[in-house]
Structure 1
Amino acid sequence: MKTTIYDIAKAAGVSIATVSKVINGTGRISTDTRERVHEIMQELDYQPSVVASALTGKSTFTIGLLIPDLANPLYAEIARSVEDRGRELGFNLVMCSTDNNPRREGDYITFLKQKKVDGIIISTGISNEAVLQSLHTQNIPVAFVTRDHIPGMDADSVRVDDYLGGYRAASHLLGLGHRHVAVLTEQLSLSSSSDRVRGFIHALEEAGIEEGGPVVVESFSSIEEGRRQTLELLISEDAPTALFACNDLLAIGAVQAAKELRLTIPWDVSIIGFDNTMLAGIVDPPLTTISQPIAEMGRRVMDLIIQEVRGEKKGKTAIVLTPELVVRQSTTFPRKV
């Protein structure tokens, strides 16, 4: 026979109302009592009805997460951090990988609304204001991570200072003596990409490198696209001495292209990435990159949205974290300027 809330209350020696408050995270319940009730729930394998909770307007203890690509280590690491923090706070996670496809984004948001999730964390390039407005109209909490919120939409956000990250990447290459550089970026329609490129160019302009500016190549975010685009850059007559890739996947593709052309990294070409995912330290040579505090971003965005779900905060919060340069073995001074 299925365990009920009455069984939990009897075994724990508390009232049904106390068990209900523990399940819903409400009321002033002592830590000892709360832990005792949770222990009994585990011992008796009690599973609260998510559907019943949703139908009565209560929390389903579920958060949705929209990410562009789970195969990208950045988003895999973000998702893991979000999920771990959610479990600490008693919430489950539903992940949806959208490929930054507007139709898939809309379909997944519809799906998450049907599942009665308590809130949605968005890490994609979604810009469909009608879809986002529907979440606002239905009072579904929304928070953004790795990107800023949509202009005109009141929502929490956690991101790194992408402009500063691009600036620091250029400053590093300039400090090594590079003057002829190129940039490999995701679509510039993504605010994170455009900010990184703007910061990079600003540092070059401050150094007096204005004429022509760097070659900026837009690409889909994959190792193969990074390889393909870098091959074209490096076989040109005006090949750069250094390349800034706006994420680590593109940077690793650039490393593959250089090796394919039998170029030595960093002596023939320096390569710097962005993100500092787990791949950056194991690629050969280890990748110089701009580090995002990935785990912190995941934890903080989950904290924000759960505070919103529980009605514990007033107003919206925009958290901007500082990127750091991590120097490894893929950058050095140029053989010729």
Structure 2
Amino acid sequence: MKVTIYDVAKTAGVSIATVSKVINNTGNISEKTRNKVLDVTKKLEYYPNVMASALMGKKTKTIGLIIPDLANPFFSELARHTENRANELEYNLITCSTDYLPERESKYISLLKQKKVDGFILASGFEDLKKVEDLMKEDIPVAVVARDFPMFPVNAVAIDDFMGGYQATSYLINLGHKNIGIIARDVWSNRERIRGYKQALEDHNLNVPSYFEYAEETNIICGKKIAHNYLNNNNPPTAIFACNDLLTIGAIKAAKENGILVPEQLSLVGFDNTMIATITDPPLTTIGQPIDVMGREVMDLMVGMIEHNKQDKIRITLIPELVERNSTSKID
């Protein structure tokens, strides 16, 4: 039999109104009574009807997170840290992975709106600006993470991708490399990293290699494919900057299949500093993103909009950090 709010009130020896106030964290309830009610809800496994609350105009304490690729360790780690912060703030998080497909973006936005989520967090890879504009016109709280929409007044938490690309490339140049390839997908964050890469080359009077091409996806297979093409060029690079750690692992695989030693004959720098960067062979030199901070900050911004109706739009830009390991070396 389904447990109701009446069962909770009867077992706890309090009124239904008191149970409601405890569940919704409203009213002046003593700590003793609050703890007693909460203990009973856990014992009886009572779960409030979120949809009913939404129909009454109340908050559902639920937020939708839309990410492009849950298989990418960066996004899975970001989702975990965002959900951890949501739990601390007594919110629920529904995570949807789009695989960079616009039709899935539409599907999940529609689904989450039906679920009456209190707001949306959109991660890097979300490219449909019209959908963002539509959400804002409906006065639905929107925040973005690991990217920015400078054309819209939205809360945003992102890394300085341009600086990260510049750091990675400058580091390789300072190791003596002059022929530096890049592996990237044509998405917003990567475009900024490419811009930093090009600027670093320009500042050191170096050219972008003529063999540059975009990866079709941001995974190991595509990283290996692009690296194979580069390494079999007439003028192969001595170093490659890959715009995420998965692409870098693909480049390591391509180097091994071509009998090229990393880092003795080919230096590699990745981006993200996910857990896998520490367990590759060799461990990756990479540009680190403070993924935990990004998850916490964007959730705090979202809850601020929902609970306190904060109208001021905040853009938090975090500074990337080069993490040096064993996939790079100096060149004579």
Same fold (TM over 0.5): yes
The residue that corresponds to 1:161 in the other structure is 160
The residue that corresponds to 2:96 in the other structure is 96
Letter of the structure 1 residue corresponding to residue 318 of structure 2: L
1:32 deviates by: 5.0
The residue that corresponds to 2:107 in the other structure is 107
The residue that corresponds to 1:17 in the other structure is 17
Cα distance in 2 between the residues matched to 1:312 and 1:34? 26
1:63 deviates by: 1.1
1:180 deviates by: 1.1
Cα distance in 1 between the residues matched to 2:210 and 2:201? 8
1:314 deviates by: 3.2
Q: How does 1:126-145 map to 2 (within 5 A)?
A: 126-145=126-145
Cα distance in 1 between the residues matched to 2:135 and 2:33? 36
The residue that corresponds to 1:61 in the other structure is 61
Letter of the structure 1 residue corresponding to residue 165 of structure 2: G
The residue that corresponds to 2:46 in the other structure is 46
Cα distance in 1 between the residues matched to 2:210 and 2:293? 32
Which shifted more, 127-136 or 291-300?
127-136
The residue that corresponds to 1:325 in the other structure is 322
The alignment partner of 2:304 has SS state of helix
The alignment partner of 1:218 has SS state of coil
Residues 172 and 36 of structure 1: is their aligned pair in 2 closer, same or farther, counting only changes over 3 Å?
farther
Task: Check the 8 A contact 2:141/2:305 in 1, yes or no.
Answer: yes
Task: Check the 8 A contact 2:201/2:208 in 1, yes or no.
Answer: no
The residue that corresponds to 2:147 in the other structure is 147
The residue that corresponds to 1:311 in the other structure is 308
Residues 204 and 30 of structure 1: is their aligned pair in 2 closer, same or farther, counting only changes over 3 Å?
farther
Letter of the structure 1 residue corresponding to residue 201 of structure 2: L
The residue that corresponds to 2:201 in the other structure is 204
Cα distance in 1 between the residues matched to 2:50 and 2:152? 29
Residues 312 and 132 of structure 1: is their aligned pair in 2 closer, same or farther, counting only changes over 3 Å?
closer
The reply on whether 1:26 has 2:22 as its aligned counterpart is no
Residues 329 and 39 of structure 1: is their aligned pair in 2 closer, same or farther, counting only changes over 3 Å?
same
The residue that corresponds to 1:185 in the other structure is 184
Residues 31 and 244 of structure 1: is their aligned pair in 2 closer, same or farther, counting only changes over 3 Å?
farther
Task: Check the 8 A contact 1:66/1:124 in 2, yes or no.
Answer: no
Cα distance in 1 between the residues matched to 2:169 and 2:92? 40
The alignment partner of 2:83 has SS state of helix
Task: Check the 8 A contact 1:181/1:215 in 2, yes or no.
Answer: no
Give CA deviations for 1:94-149 in whole Å, capped at 9, x if unaligned. 11111111111111111111111111111142332332222122222111111112
Structure 1, gaps ≥5 residues long = none
The residue that corresponds to 1:249 in the other structure is 246
1:277 deviates by: 0.7
Residues 22 and 253 of structure 1: is their aligned pair in 2 closer, same or farther, counting only changes over 3 Å?
same
Residues 214 and 242 of structure 1: is their aligned pair in 2 closer, same or farther, counting only changes over 3 Å?
farther
TM-score w.r.t. structure 1 length? 0.92
Letter of the structure 2 residue corresponding to residue 152 of structure 1: M
1:248 deviates by: 0.6
1:310 deviates by: 1.1
1:308 deviates by: 1.3
Q: Please provide the CA RMSD for this pair.
A: 1.9
Cα distance in 2 between the residues matched to 1:28 and 1:162? 47
Residues 319 and 111 of structure 1: is their aligned pair in 2 closer, same or farther, counting only changes over 3 Å?
same
Give CA deviations for 1:48-79 in whole Å, capped at 9, x if unaligned. 00121111111122111111111110111011
Which shifted more, 262-271 or 56-65?
56-65
Cα distance in 1 between the residues matched to 2:190 and 2:211? 15
Aligned length in residues: 331
Cα distance in 1 between the residues matched to 2:151 and 2:157? 17
The reply on whether 1:216 has 2:215 as its aligned counterpart is no
Task: Check the 8 A contact 1:79/1:298 in 2, yes or no.
Answer: yes
The residue that corresponds to 1:122 in the other structure is 122
TM-score w.r.t. structure 2 length? 0.94
The residue that corresponds to 1:261 in the other structure is 258
1:168 deviates by: 0.9
Residues 322 and 90 of structure 1: is their aligned pair in 2 closer, same or farther, counting only changes over 3 Å?
same
Task: Check the 8 A contact 1:100/1:124 in 2, yes or no.
Answer: no
Cα distance in 2 between the residues matched to 1:311 and 1:2? 34
Q: What fraction of aligned residue pairs are identical, expressed as a percent?
A: 50
The reply on whether 1:228 has 2:252 as its aligned counterpart is no
Letter of the structure 2 residue corresponding to residue 281 of structure 1: T
Cα distance in 2 between the residues matched to 1:239 and 1:184? 14
Residues 141 and 78 of structure 1: is their aligned pair in 2 closer, same or farther, counting only changes over 3 Å?
same
